[in-house]
Structure formats: C-alpha cells, structure tokens
Amino acid sequence: MRGRVWKFGNNVDTDAITPGKYIYAPREELLKHVLEVINPKFSREVKQGDVVVGGSNFGCGSSREEAPVVLKTLGVGAVVAESFARIFFRNGIAIGLPVLTCAGISVAFEDGDEMELDLSRARITNLTQGKTLHAQPLPEQMLDVLSKGGIGPLLKELGRKAKP
C-alpha cells in the first residue's frame, strides 16, 4: 500500500483519537473530530490509504475499540508506531486495521512524506526520502485476520465453509 504520512508523537491516547465528548454522538459527528486536539486538519484531509505514524505508546488510555475503528472508517490504511498500547494493537488487528511496530519510524518520516508499506514483508519505504525500514513482522495468523478485513469477516467465512 502507498499513502501520505500523518505524523503524531508519543503517548497519543484514545481520547485524542476519539474525543470523549463525541463518543456517543452519531458516527458522522465523531469522525469530524478524530485527532483534532493534535491536528485539526486530519479528519478533513486524510485520504484513503494514508498512514498514521506514531511515536511510542500509541493508542494508550482507555480500551475504546472506536479508536482504531474511526481511523479505518476515515480510510487510514495502516498505523505504524515505535510501540503501541497492547489493547489498541489488538483492537486494530481485530477490526482489520494493519498496525505495525517499527523502531526508528518516528525519525525516519516527516508529516506529508509518502510511504510504501509491504505488510507481508514488514518493509516500510519512505519514498520521499529514499529510506527503507523493517518493522516487526506480524504472525501469519494476524496477517490472515487482516487479509479478511478483521475477525468478524474471518469468522463469517469460516462459518460458511463449515456448513454442510
């Protein structure tokens, strides 16, 4: 996949991703406020396939499944960070949003750079600066979940195959 990089720092918590005061608002309203406390333009300008790059502890805070869901709904193709809060990482995989841990990612990219991401090889290329990094590879089972669009679609497919 290829996309523009939206760079964020360390300790981006789920309340910054999905502000609490909009959590019970209709989904369309919540989508207007994704990450607005850090970058007010993000939800208006993010495009299909763009990539969020974070520092350490991305997705910390409460275990809101809405945080990765709204990123995926806005078209984010992947989130790559130095490290993740465990629950955000697992929720991302569960809903079909690729998340990769990559040492050095936060210094190898600037906001607006173009990234090419090979998920199966865990290879990340900064096309703007000509740098290539290698992320921590995802286990085959996680890649399978992602290829099906998340756990829900995977289970539906398995259920269809199991019917006599």
pLDDT tens-digit readout, 45-65 = 999 999 999 999 999 998 788
Report d(CA 7, CA 22) in Å as an integer. Answer: 23
Instruction: Identify the pLDDT of residue 78.
Output: 98
What is the percent of the chain with per-residue pLDDT over 70, rounded to a whole number?
99
Q: What is the pLDDT of residue 23?
A: 87
Domain 2-162 CATH superfamily: Aconitase, domain 4 (3.20.19.10)
- The mean predicted confidence, pLDDT, of the chain is 95
Q: How far apart are CA 100 and CA 42, in angstroms?
A: 20
| Residue entry with tokens 């190898």 | 108
Answer whether residue 146 shows pLDDT above 90: yes
pTM: 0.94
13-48 pLDDT tens trace: 999 999 989 989 999 999 999 999 999 999 999 999
Instruction: Tell me, rounded to whole angstroms, the distance of Cα 139 from its chain centroid.
Output: 17
